[in-house]
Structure 1
C-alpha cells in the first residue's frame, strides 16, 4: 500500500502482517525524507511506527480516542488518518501542526505540547463516556520520560481507584528527550529486563488457545493478571496503583503488538500494556543519539545526517551564551549549581554537567519539583541556576510564587526559548512569562539585548539576593567573551538617540533593540530607542523623563500585551498622575499559531517593517 492512498485507518485493516511490515518501512523512509525538508520531531516518530500501526489496526478512531502524551510522536497517526499529502507543509504557516490538533482532524481527540497530561485527560474522557453510557475505548500513549512527571502519578492514583476501562500504552524507549535519569528509570529497567510476554509459561499460552478458558481470560483477564504477576515481574509500579499490567512487549513486532492489544481491548478495567521501542528506529544517526540531538531537528541531509543550517561566524545560540557564562562564573563561585528538568541538551548545559558533575542535577520531566528543589538549595546557602523553556515554566508557577519568591530566595531562573518560537506553535510560544512573573513580589525580571549584556546580567543575578529571572529567545546572537564582569544596576534601562534631534521614542527590549536601531539608521528616522532590559523593577527615573516627553512614545513588545511591559508602563504613568498617551504594539488576546518566526511576526504586525510604517505615520 502506498501511504498517499491511505485516506483513513480502515484502509490498513485488511492488510496482512507482511504488508503491515512493508508499510512500516515505507513510513520510516517517508518520515526521514519529509522531515529532512521541513524539520520536526524525528526520533520519537521513528520509534512508534509499528506501535501506531497496531493501534489503528486494533482500535477504531475517531470512535476510540487516542491521546499521545506531548503529541510530538503523532506523525504516524497523522499519516494513517489521511494526512500524508500534507506533510510538505508540516509545521509551516497554514500547514499541518507538529502535534495532535483537534481542528485538524476528527481523529485527533486531544492536543498538547507539554508532557504528562495524557492520563488525566484519558480519565476525564473515560468518566464522560461512562456517564453517557457509551462504550468506546480510550487509549493514552505515555512514555517512560513523561511518567516522571508528578501529574502522571496523580492521574495513575485516581485511575487505579476509579477502575474505568482504559488501555494505557506505556511506550518505553529509555529516553525522554535525552537519556532518562532517576529512581523511576531504575524501576523501569527492572521491568524491561523481566521475562517478556511472548515467553510466558506454556500453561498461559494453553489457556489462551482453549476455547472455554480463552473466553474467560478475554473477558476478565484474571488469569493473565495472575500469570504476569507470577512469571513476569514480582512487583510492578503499576500494580502498586491497582492497575493490571501486561508486558514487556517488543514494540517493533507488529504481530505480537496486535495480539496483545486485542487482549487489552477486551479487558475489564484499566490495563497497562508495556511496549519496548527504540527511539530513532531505522535511522542509525537517530538510533545512536543519547543527547536528544535528533529529537527535534531542523532541515538536514538524510544521507549524511548533517544539518543544513549553519551558525554564522562569531555567533552562538542564546542558550550557549548563558551556559558558557554559567560555566565561567562557576569556576570562581563554588556555590553555583545547575538544574534542568530533562532539557540538558536543549538548554546547552551539557558542558556544565561535564565540568561540574557534583553540582549538576537533571530532575527529569518535573518542572515543579525542579523549582522547589532549587528553592531548597537556595535556602541552604547555595546559588542554584535552573534553566527552563518559557513554555514549560508555566508548569512551575506555584513553586516560583510560593516556594521561591515568598521566601525571597536567590534562585536564578533561566527562561529559555522566550517569545515566539516558530514552528512548534501555540503550545510552545514563550510569550506569557512576563505577565506571569511581573506581579510576583521580590521577583526581578530581565532580558538582554545581546550576548555582552547577557553575560553581565547573568553575573548580576549571582551578585544579589532575590529571585532573578533572565529570559532569552530561541536563535543566535553575536558573541565574544567579556573581559571583565560588572554588575548592571537592577532596574536600569539605557537610551540611544539615532539623530541629534528626536521626534519619537520607541521603548523595546531584547534583540529588538539593535534591530530597531539598525533599521532607524538605515531609514534616517529621528527617534530615540530605549532598551527596557528590566521588566521588573522599572527604571523610574527614565520613565519620569519619558512620561514628560511631548513627542509620541511607542512601546514595542513581541510578547502578550496583557500584563507585559506596556501594561507596567501604563500602570506607572497612571499611578504617578501622568497624562501621557502611549502607542502599544504586541500580541493581542489570542494564541499564535505555528509558522516561521518572520511569518508570525508579520501576521501579528510585529515585524520591523510594520513598526517603521507606524513610526513614519507619527513622524
Structure 2
C-alpha cells in the first residue's frame, strides 16, 4: 500500500485510478492534510472534515468538471479544492493573492458556481441542468450539495419547488449534520431528525411530495455505500434527492464535541485539536459583544424589547439575549427576508425590535426593508454586523454596500457609531422609541 496516496493525486483523473479499497486511506490523509494546514493558517474546519468521504465519492463517481458540482455556501469545499489541482497552493487559502476560502469560478473549472452565501445551490444547479437539456447534453450530471441549515431557507424551497415539475437531470444531496454555524433550528430540522431516527412513516416524506426520487438517509462516512448509491443515482432520470448523514468535525475529537467553536477555530494544535489561546486582554471588546450585552441590559428594563437574528446568534452575540430572555429572542434560521418582515409585524404591535443581520446578508432582504418596513414607517432597529471589509472571507462577505443601498431608502435613519460608547447610546435612544426605522 502506497504510504502517501494524496501526494500523487493532482486531480480527479488521478483519484479515479485508485482501487476503491484504497479510498478510506485517502480519506484519512485528506483529513490530516486539512487539519495540518488549517491548524497553522486558520479557516473553516468542521464543515470540510465532515464531508471528506462525500467529496471523494463525488469526484470518484462523477466525471468532474464536465459533470457540474455545486457546493452550497462552500465552507465545506476544502477537500474539493485539494483534490482539484490546488493541493500545492492550499496553504495560501484566504490569504492575499492566495486561493479563495469559497468555490470561485475564476479560480478553477472544477468550481462550477461561486458561492459564499447559503441556499443558492439548488437554483444554480437546476439552471445548469435545464441549460444542458436545451443543448442536448442528456448524459451530463448536475449535483447540488446543501446542508440542513441551508435547505430551510426560502430560496432553497423555491428551487426544490421548481425542480419538482421539471425532468431535469438534477441530484440534490442533503448533507445533514444538524448544525450550520450554530445548531440548526426549526420545524424542518425536527422533521429531518425524526427521519434519521426512523420515527417518520415512509409515506410521510416531504421531498417525495415535491416529485423527487428520494433515497436515504445513508451514512455519509461509509465510502462503499456512498459510491454504490451515487453510481445507482447516475442512471436515474429526473430530479433526485439523496439524504446523507454526516458528523461536522469528523476525525478530530474536539471538533466533533464542540462543533460551534470548531466551525472556524483559529490556530490550534493539529495533534490534540486544542485551540491556541489568544491574549486579547489588550484589545477593546468586540462590537458584537457590546451590542449583545447592551441589548440584555436594555431588555431588563423594557419588556417590549425583542431580538431577532437569521441563524447568527453566536456571530452577532444575540445568544446573550437568547440565554437571558429565551421567549423574547428569536433565531429564525437562514431566512433574512422572513426575519425583516417578522420584525415589521412585531413593530406594528408596539414591540421594540432589534433585528441583527450581517451587512452582506441584509442584501438578501432588500425588498422587505423597503416594502415592509420603510414604506410603512415601522420603527424596526436594524443592527448590521460585519460592515466594511472583512479580510479573509473575501468579496462575498465584504459589507461594503450597506450605506449605499440603505441611503436611498426613504424614512430610514442611518447611524454609524464611531465607538462602543456611541453604539450603546444609540441603542438606548432607539429603544426609547423613534418615529422611523433605523440602521
Query: Which residue does 2:21 correspond to in 1?
Result: 18
5 Å-filtered alignment, 1:61-460, equals 61-134=64-137, 135-194=139-198, 233-290=202-259, 292-302=260-270, 303-313=272-282, 315-460=284-429
SS of the residue 2:88 aligns to: helix
Deviations 1:523-560 (A, max 9, x none): xxxxxxxxxxxxxxxxxxxxxxxxxxxxxxxxxxxxxx
Tell me by how many angstroms 1:32 deviates. Answer: 1.2
Deviations 1:9-31 (A, max 9, x none): 01111323331101111111111
Q: RCO higher in 1 or 2 (8 Å CA, sep ≥ 6)?
A: 2
Tell me by how many angstroms 1:468 deviates. Answer: 4.2
Partners of 1:444 and 1:247 in 2: CA distance? 50
More strand by share: 1
Indicate whether 1:5 and 2:30 are aligned: no
Partners of 2:265 and 2:42 in 1: CA distance? 5
What stretches of structure 2 of length at least 5 have no aligned partner? none
Partners of 1:309 and 1:436 in 2: CA distance? 36
Change beyond 3 A, Cα 1:434–1:244: same
The count of corresponding residues between Structure 1 and Structure 2 is: 434
SS of the residue 2:285 aligns to: strand
Partners of 1:235 and 1:17 in 2: CA distance? 35
Q: Do 2:117 and 2:396's aligned partners in 1 also have CA atoms closer than 8 Å?
A: yes
- Structure whose alpha-carbon radius of gyration is higher: 1
Deviations 1:296-339 (A, max 9, x none): 23223333522453323362111001111111111101011111
Deviations 1:268-310 (A, max 9, x none): 11110110001111112211125x2221232233335224533
5 Å-filtered alignment, 1:591-606, equals none
Query: Which residue does 1:212 correspond to in 2?
Result: none
5 Å-filtered alignment, 1:389-538, equals 389-470=358-439
What stretches of structure 1 of length at least 5 have no aligned partner? 196-230, 471-619
Partners of 2:343 and 2:124 in 1: CA distance? 29
Deviations 1:99-143 (A, max 9, x none): 001111111110111111001001110111011111310000011
Partners of 1:15 and 1:3 in 2: CA distance? 11
Q: Do 1:300 and 1:306's aligned partners in 2 also have CA atoms closer than 8 Å?
A: yes
Tell me by how many angstroms 1:464 deviates. Answer: 3.2
Partners of 1:107 and 1:407 in 2: CA distance? 46
Partners of 2:282 and 2:43 in 1: CA distance? 25
Deviations 1:57-104 (A, max 9, x none): 100111000000011211111111121111211100110110001111
Deviations 1:386-406 (A, max 9, x none): 111111110011111111111
SS of the residue 1:113 aligns to: coil
Q: Note the aligned Cα RMSD (angstroms).
A: 1.5
Q: Do 1:249 and 1:276's aligned partners in 2 also have CA atoms closer than 8 Å?
A: yes
SS of the residue 1:7 aligns to: coil
The TM-score, its normalising length taken from structure 2, stands at: 0.96
Partners of 1:307 and 1:449 in 2: CA distance? 31
Change beyond 3 A, Cα 1:251–1:452: same
Tell me by how many angstroms 1:466 deviates. Answer: 3.8
